[in-house]
Structure 1
Amino acid sequence: MGPERRVILGVDVGTTAVRAGAFALDGTARHVRAREYPLLQPVPGWQVQDPDVLVAATLAVMSACVADTAGAEVVALAVSSARYGLIGLDATLRPVTPLLTRRDTRSAEVARDLRVSGQSRELHRMSGTPVHPGSPLCKLIWFARHEPYLCATTRWWIGLKDYVVHRLTGTLVTELSSASGTGMFDVHRRVWSAGVLDLVGVSDGQLPPVLPTTGVLRLSAAAGRSVGLPSGTPVVVGAGDGPSSSLGMAAIDGTVGGLTLAATGALRTVVAAPLVDPAETFSCAALTEDAWVVGATVGNGGNVVGWAGHALAPDLRPASGDERAVPAFLGLAERVAPGSDGLVMLPYLLAERAPEGESGPPGAYLGLRGEHSRGHLVRAAVEGVCLQLGDVRDRLARLTPVSSVRLAGGAFRSPLWRAVMAAILDCPVRVSDAADDDAALGAAALGLFAIGLAPDLRGAITQLDPGSARAEPIAVDPALAAAYRGLRTKLPALVAVVGRIGEILDEVAAGPRVHWPADAMPRGAVGR
């Protein structure tokens, strides 16, 4: 059987969808399937999911990929997932909690307490993970404070990928990448930190053993029947979604940044050993034992511009519903001059994690005048997102050199997004074609290396995606770069001012509320 008849499956279990790809070992073909699932909010600030719903979706997309490549030999499957999730299991390995996702902010008070006490700095230095409400460390302290009976009866505390791998193989383990995102793992000594476990009130016997990201298990007979693969098929435990994305877009050289932009955005680079940010901003997670990914995620990416298009140009929404199509409303923005004629948007529609552990500044349009059109508002949204990511690159470059950037993600199908992002970065930029499946492709490449069918990570990604070596360069327009340079220098001051305005608005919102009697409701108001 030739290499064109051999494939490897890469599976990425994300926060809102699972994506699986079957990648030919000779790089000639890929078959990608995806399935979405709900993110539940039973209480404001709680963002949870049913772990078994995610597992069912994972098995379904894997089965579809196997069917798409009928007759091919599946040499292995490898798993990536969103990090920072937390699930409690009983002694029979069944969930006693939902999956608390990385978006769950119930432990915000815990994060603030750790920062005020000064403990956050040492915790970050030890674990590589900033103290924030999404981290398992803060979630476990929250459970200890608010659900002590549940804590006393919970046998295991695990992450999302740990649960998926257990359901695929029957083995309960974690791996270096996921462990390094818990806030409880000493990334320098490569062990669970006894002092931190005392702080959160769990024992190391309640946490899974930690394997390398290249660890190989075997597919169980039950899972094999569900997806159409032989039992015993190698299962590579893999890395988290961020490190997997960096590999999938071939941004694994020391001074190359990998910038992904879909609904959210992220910028990361690869270093040889754990690198801790003194400002407690960036996280550091393992890809392999000697490749660590340092960077940050922003919650306000393409979703901000999608909101602007929906709110301002509903008449230009694509009738086909094709998610791969470049939105027509971006054409309005293309007709507006760079800088949006003095209009600036701070794109914080969703709360971003601020260094102080608070929610950060609110979103805002600044400099709005009567001459501004909806095209200005849309372009300012694009520029605001790109300016935010440019600021992340500037701060990351102070920690480790980032001399060039690779772009990936559905947003960069748009010439406008590519041109603005390249001009704001103002460095050599290339676009990867791994628009939607970079994490699944990265998982597959790591799996190929793990089972010995590639000599190294670079060889693995080049083998599965030969085009990665020929990523399209983007010429940076000097005039466009100059237009944005001055705005970039003013961005921190604008964020600080709007942050203060946000604090004032929070104080107003916390004040007495006015309740209108039904017979005095102003015309046009809607009562409850």
Structure 2
Amino acid sequence: MGPERRVIVGVDVGTTAVRAAAFALDGTARHIATREYPLLEPVPGWRVQEPDVLVAATLAATSACVAGTAGAEVVALALSSARYGLIGLDAAMNPVTPLLTRRDARSADAARALRLSGQSRELHRLTGTPVHPMNPLCKLLWFARHEPYLCTATRWWIGLKDFVVHRLTGMLVSELSSASGTGMFDVHRRGWSSAVLDLAGVSESQLPPVLPTTAVLRLSAAAGRAVGLPSGTPVVVGAGDGPLGSLGAAAIDRTVGGLTLGATGALRTVVAAPLVDPAETFSCGALTDDAWVVRGAVSNGGNVVRWAGRALGDDCAAPALLDLAERIAPGSDGLVMLPYLLADDALAGGWSPPGAFLGLRSEHSRGHLVRAAVEGVCLQLGGVRDRLAELTPVGSVRLTGGAFRSPLWREVMAAVLDCPVQVARTADEVTLGAAALGLFAIGHACDLSDAVTQLDPGVAGTEPVAVDPTLATAYRGLRTRLPALITVAGHLSELLDEAAGAGLSARVRP
């Protein structure tokens, strides 16, 4: 059977949907299937999902994808998933907790305590992961304090990918990429850290063994029946969605940054060995044993435009709002937005002030507010790039993600970065990255770059974005003032909190 009749399927289990994409080995075709599932918030700040619902969606999407390949031979499944999730299992491998997603913030107090105690610096040095509520380490500290009886009933603590792999293959294992995002894995020794496990109150025997991301397992008979594939089909354990997104965007040269912007955003670059940020801002996680992804994330991206559609009336769709914003002059006539609708990952210490519009006047319209939101996000990402450049050189940036379909997002982002910028042409960088890692793992490509171009020959082709020098100069000036504006907003927030507390005390005083 020729390569045109052979495909590899990349499966990405994300935060709100699973996406399965079959890529022909000769790069001529792909077929995609998706299944969505809810993100639940049973308590404010808790963001969870039912593990078995995610597995059912994974099987359904994979089955639909396989059925759409018109009888082609599937040489392997290769997996990707969102990182930082945590699931507790009993001895029978049944969930005793929901999946605590990376957006679950219940452990904010635990993260804050580690920072205040000074322990966060050593934890970051060991694990490459900043202390943050998203980390499984902090989630385990929350369980130890608030659910001690559940802890005694939990035989295994695992991640989302680990659970999916178990349901597909019957093997309970983790892999280097997911393990390196837990906050409990010593990235220098490449093993679970006994000191951090003692802090978390778990033993190494409660955690799965860690395999290379290129490890190949076999599809079980039951999973094979569910997805329409033979028992024993190779299953490549794969990596986390962030590192695989860098691979799928062909941004794995250490001088190239991959900037992804959807609802949230992240800037990544690839280095040969773990690189720890002394400022505790960036994380460093594995793609393979000798390719590590340094990442700075922002919680506020394209979601600020969706927020504007809800908050500014008429519930306008993002394209209509961006059309209004394009008519506004750069700089939004003096209006600045600090786009911190959600507490932001990319600020030192994991702290950010509440979001704010500064310089608001009666002449400012809805278009001004939206343009200021776009500019605020791009300025924030420009600051991430500045801090990343202090760790490793980033000479050019590739843009990926749905937001960059908008000319306004592209224009503003390129001017803020003020370096060679291209828009990657692929729209499926994570599933492409998973499939490419899988192709390399089963020996069908000589290296990762070869694997990506084999599956998508046009992936290296990019659309350059022209940088307006006048615009770049204007945004450079605004970026220099941004730290002071953030500090001012923080002080104002503290004063408002104090005033609100005083007002409440006056109202309840007998």
Matching residue of 2:377: 385
Seen in structure 2, the aligned counterparts of structure 1 residues 311 and 114 have a Cα distance that, compared at 3 Å, is closer
Inter-partner Cα distance in structure 2 for 1:117 and 1:401: 32
Matching residue of 1:507: 498
Structure 1 residue 354 displacement after superposition: 6.4
TM-score (norm 1): 0.93
* Superposition map of 1:129-208 within 5 A: 129-208=129-208
Inter-partner Cα distance in structure 1 for 2:406 and 2:253: 26
Matching residue of 1:362: 354
Matching residue of 1:333: 325
Inter-partner Cα distance in structure 1 for 2:300 and 2:502: 28
Inter-partner Cα distance in structure 2 for 1:29 and 1:21: 10
Paired AA for residue 485 in structure 2: L
Matching residue of 2:479: 488
Structure 1 residue 311 displacement after superposition: 3.4
* Superposition map of 1:25-424 within 5 A: 25-312=25-312, 314=314, 317=317, 327-353=319-345, 357=349, 359-424=351-416
Seen in structure 2, the aligned counterparts of structure 1 residues 249 and 25 have a Cα distance that, compared at 3 Å, is same
Inter-partner Cα distance in structure 2 for 1:508 and 1:25: 64
Paired AA for residue 500 in structure 1: H
1:431 aligns with 2:427: no
Structure 1 residue 493 displacement after superposition: 1.2
Inter-partner Cα distance in structure 2 for 1:178 and 1:512: 47
Inter-partner Cα distance in structure 2 for 1:315 and 1:285: 38
Pick the aligned partner of 1:442 from 428, 433, 450.
433
Structure 1 residue 284 displacement after superposition: 0.4
Inter-partner Cα distance in structure 2 for 1:109 and 1:510: 20
Inter-partner Cα distance in structure 1 for 2:156 and 2:506: 47
Structure 1 residue 507 displacement after superposition: 3.2
Partner-residue secondary structure (3-state), 1:371 = coil
Structure 1 residue 504 displacement after superposition: 2.6
Seen in structure 2, the aligned counterparts of structure 1 residues 231 and 278 have a Cα distance that, compared at 3 Å, is same
Pick the aligned partner of 1:478 from 466, 469, 494.
469
Inter-partner Cα distance in structure 1 for 2:50 and 2:80: 18
Seen in structure 2, the aligned counterparts of structure 1 residues 354 and 413 have a Cα distance that, compared at 3 Å, is closer
TM-score (norm 2): 0.97
Seen in structure 2, the aligned counterparts of structure 1 residues 510 and 90 have a Cα distance that, compared at 3 Å, is farther
Q: Does structure 2 conserve the Cα–Cα contact (< 8 Å) formed by 1:262 and 1:301?
A: yes
Q: Does structure 2 conserve the Cα–Cα contact (< 8 Å) formed by 1:115 and 1:356?
A: no
Seen in structure 2, the aligned counterparts of structure 1 residues 19 and 343 have a Cα distance that, compared at 3 Å, is same
Inter-partner Cα distance in structure 1 for 2:391 and 2:198: 31
Inter-partner Cα distance in structure 2 for 1:97 and 1:434: 36
Inter-partner Cα distance in structure 1 for 2:37 and 2:469: 43
Inter-partner Cα distance in structure 1 for 2:411 and 2:42: 41
Partner-residue secondary structure (3-state), 1:467 = coil
Seen in structure 2, the aligned counterparts of structure 1 residues 509 and 246 have a Cα distance that, compared at 3 Å, is farther
Seen in structure 2, the aligned counterparts of structure 1 residues 433 and 310 have a Cα distance that, compared at 3 Å, is farther
Matching residue of 1:455: 446
Structure 1 residue 313 displacement after superposition: 6.1
Q: Does structure 2 conserve the Cα–Cα contact (< 8 Å) formed by 1:174 and 1:211?
A: yes
Paired AA for residue 472 in structure 1: E
Seen in structure 2, the aligned counterparts of structure 1 residues 509 and 56 have a Cα distance that, compared at 3 Å, is farther
Paired AA for residue 229 in structure 1: L
Residues 357-413 of structure 1: per-residue CA shift (max 9 Å, x gap): 555211111111111111111111111111111111111111111110000011111
Structure 1 unaligned blocks of 5 or more: 318-325, 517-528
Paired AA for residue 373 in structure 1: S
Structure 1 residue 137 displacement after superposition: 0.6
Inter-partner Cα distance in structure 2 for 1:36 and 1:345: 32
Q: Does structure 2 conserve the Cα–Cα contact (< 8 Å) formed by 1:213 and 1:238?
A: yes
Seen in structure 2, the aligned counterparts of structure 1 residues 511 and 69 have a Cα distance that, compared at 3 Å, is farther
Q: Does structure 1 conserve the Cα–Cα contact (< 8 Å) formed by 2:81 and 2:161?
A: yes
Q: Does structure 1 conserve the Cα–Cα contact (< 8 Å) formed by 2:256 and 2:395?
A: yes
Paired AA for residue 433 in structure 2: G
Inter-partner Cα distance in structure 2 for 1:37 and 1:231: 27
Inter-partner Cα distance in structure 1 for 2:354 and 2:397: 28
**What is the identity percentage for the equivalent residue pairs of Structure 1 and Structure 2?**
79
Inter-partner Cα distance in structure 2 for 1:353 and 1:497: 19
Structure 1 residue 188 displacement after superposition: 0.4
1:498 aligns with 2:489: yes
Q: Does structure 1 conserve the Cα–Cα contact (< 8 Å) formed by 2:309 and 2:315?
A: no
Structure 1 residue 256 displacement after superposition: 0.4
Partner-residue secondary structure (3-state), 1:430 = strand
Inter-partner Cα distance in structure 1 for 2:468 and 2:348: 36
Residues 127-146 of structure 1: per-residue CA shift (max 9 Å, x gap): 00101111011111111111
Inter-partner Cα distance in structure 2 for 1:508 and 1:359: 21
Paired AA for residue 150 in structure 2: L
Paired AA for residue 460 in structure 1: A
Inter-partner Cα distance in structure 1 for 2:301 and 2:20: 23
Partner-residue secondary structure (3-state), 2:54 = helix
Inter-partner Cα distance in structure 2 for 1:487 and 1:130: 28
Structure 1 residue 472 displacement after superposition: 1.1
- Greater shift in the superposed pair: 124-133 or 496-505: 496-505
Seen in structure 2, the aligned counterparts of structure 1 residues 100 and 196 have a Cα distance that, compared at 3 Å, is same
Partner-residue secondary structure (3-state), 1:11 = strand
Paired AA for residue 116 in structure 2: V
Q: Does structure 2 conserve the Cα–Cα contact (< 8 Å) formed by 1:406 and 1:432?
A: yes
Partner-residue secondary structure (3-state), 1:294 = strand
Inter-partner Cα distance in structure 2 for 1:14 and 1:507: 40
Matching residue of 1:525: none
- Greater shift in the superposed pair: 89-98 or 502-511: 502-511
Partner-residue secondary structure (3-state), 1:327 = helix
Inter-partner Cα distance in structure 1 for 2:103 and 2:177: 19
Seen in structure 2, the aligned counterparts of structure 1 residues 24 and 515 have a Cα distance that, compared at 3 Å, is farther
Paired AA for residue 440 in structure 1: T
Structure 1 residue 165 displacement after superposition: 0.6
Q: Does structure 2 conserve the Cα–Cα contact (< 8 Å) formed by 1:409 and 1:434?
A: no
Paired AA for residue 246 in structure 1: S
Q: Does structure 1 conserve the Cα–Cα contact (< 8 Å) formed by 2:40 and 2:47?
A: yes
Inter-partner Cα distance in structure 1 for 2:426 and 2:37: 22
Structure 1 residue 508 displacement after superposition: 3.9
Structure 1 residue 467 displacement after superposition: 1.2
Residues 226-254 of structure 1: per-residue CA shift (max 9 Å, x gap): 11111111000001111011001111001
